[in-house]
Amino acid sequence: MNKLLAISICLGTAGVLLAQNQNFDNVEERILPVQGNVYMLVGAGGNTTLQVGRDGVLVVDTQYAQMAPKIMAAIRTLSDMPIKYIINTHVHGDHTGGNGALAKLGGGGAMPRIIANDHVLNRMTAKPAPGQAAVPDTDWPNDEYFGPSKDFFFNNEAVIVYHMPAAHTDGDSIVFFRRSDVISTGDIFTPERYPLIDLQRGGTVQGIIDALNRIIEITVPAKYQEGGTYVIPGHGRLCEEADVVEYRDMVTIIRDRIADLIGKGRTLEQVKAAKPTLDYETQYGATTGFWTTDMFIEAVYKNLSEKKR
């Protein structure tokens, strides 16, 4: 089997596989107040963003189904209101696996609107690849959007969902809470590891860079590149613009190096041997796990090589 296809299947079923193999009993759901109406929840899977207020509760990304009771308990420390909206930043199971369970627990008898880019719905409803579990229909978005963005007013602030085409996947969204001045990025920005480029689901390295530049364009630091707009990443700690700039620089520089080597006719093995990520390895690299440095280099190489052809 093609190695990237194998990786892709692994990513596609990340919610199922990881959920099956992980013991959630001892995982705490920790709440970090961010700014204004917005909170960050750190548990298992991707980060969850909460926006609470008099209109109800809005949840960005839902981790795994097994975490839903703990997420709900955390929400209840902040609000007695029902969940009105769930927004998925992308299709992967560690961000969408809790959609149905959380909707059932927190909807207050009504089904929350589950918003995502239409590519997310297309991916979730597609016939699964051999060995891959189908996504339960209770997890499917019921309010998909087309085009560059969707916006609405909730809890006294504008909520703007921007589509970031062909980045981590083809269905990525970032969510901007305009009054609170917070952006939830999904896996376009993961400050403790290299960006995961899911080529099989339409991800590209240039799309990641474009999306990071868009985030930098929206964020405005307060004084001396600090504070101002806060950024909740898909995984990892709370950040600000300067952290996104560091990350954007890293992805851009590595792209340039690999593109240069491809331009010189180097094979993938020669590119790996040249260690184009050496200076970032101790900060973002991994030799084990579901997204290693080798996989990252391979994805960038393959993506840039295809583009060149």
Partner 1 sequence: MVIASRSAVLFLFALLTIPASAQVDFSGEWAPLYHEDGPERLPGPELGDYTELPINDAARMRADSYDADRISVVPEYQCRPHGADYSMRGLGNLRIWREYDQATQKLIAFYTHLLAWDSERTIYMDGRPHPPAYADHTWQGFSTGVWEGNMLTITTTHLKTNYIRRNGVPRSDKATLTEHWYRHGDYLTVVTVIDDPVFLTEPLVRSDNWFLDPGQAIGVFGCEYAPEVPRPVGTVPHHLPGTNQFLTEFANWYGLPYEATRGGAETLYPEYKAKLGNYKPPAKCERYCTCTTLFNCNVSPSR
Q: In this structure, how many other beta carbons lie within 10 angstroms of the beta carbon of residue 210? A: 16
Nearest to 308 by CA among 264, 254, 251: 264
Tell me if 225 contacts partner 1 by CB under 8 A.
Answer: yes
Question: For residue 216, what are its two tokens?
Answer: 């930098």
Question: How far is Cα of residue 194 from the mean position of the Cα atoms in its chain?
Answer: 13
Nearest to 98 by CA among 29, 162, 36: 29
- Binding segment (CB under 8 A) for partner 1, from list 8-16, 74-82, 161-169, 209-217: 209-217
Nearest to 153 by CA among 178, 181, 117: 178
Q: Least Å distance between CB 235 and partner 1?
A: 10
Tell me if 211 contacts partner 1 by CB under 8 A.
Answer: no
Tell me if 281 contacts partner 1 by CB under 8 A.
Answer: yes
The letter for the amino acid at 94 is D
Q: What is the DSSP letter of 199?
A: G
Q: What is the DSSP letter of 193?
A: S
Tell me if 222 contacts partner 1 by CB under 8 A.
Answer: no
Contacts to partner 1 from residues 27-86, by CB under 8 A: 30, 32, 40, 42
**Of the two residues 3 and 307, which places its CB atom closer to partner 1 in the complex?**
307
Nearest to 59 by CA among 101, 11, 14, 122: 101
Q: In this structure, how many other beta carbons lie within 10 angstroms of the beta carbon of residue 295? A: 18
Distance CA 53, CA 62 (A): 19
Contact predicate 34/181, CB 8 Å = no
Q: In this structure, how many other beta carbons lie within 10 angstroms of the beta carbon of residue 101? A: 22
**Of the two residues 111 and 222, which places its CB atom closer to partner 1 in the complex?**
222
Q: Least Å distance between CB 303 and partner 1?
A: 17
Tell me if 137 contacts partner 1 by CB under 8 A.
Answer: no
- Binding segment (CB under 8 A) for partner 1, from list 58-66, 107-115, 248-256, 293-301: 248-256
**Of the two residues 116 and 304, which places its CB atom closer to partner 1 in the complex?**
304
Of the candidate residues 260, 267, 273, 307, the single one contacting partner 1 (CB under 8 A): 260
The letter for the amino acid at 121 is L
- Binding segment (CB under 8 A) for partner 1, from list 18-26, 92-100, 160-168, 238-246: 238-246
Tell me if 151 contacts partner 1 by CB under 8 A.
Answer: no
Q: In this structure, how many other beta carbons lie within 10 angstroms of the beta carbon of residue 25? A: 6
- Binding segment (CB under 8 A) for partner 1, from list 78-86, 108-116, 159-167, 221-229: 221-229
Of the candidate residues 246, 273, 306, 307, the single one contacting partner 1 (CB under 8 A): 246
Q: How many residues bind partner 1 (CB under 8 A)?
A: 40
Tell me if 238 contacts partner 1 by CB under 8 A.
Answer: yes
Contact positions vs partner 1 (CB under 8 A): 30, 32, 40, 42, 209-210, 213, 216-217, 221, 223-226, 230, 236-243, 245-246, 248-249, 252-253, 256-257, 260, 274, 276, 278-283
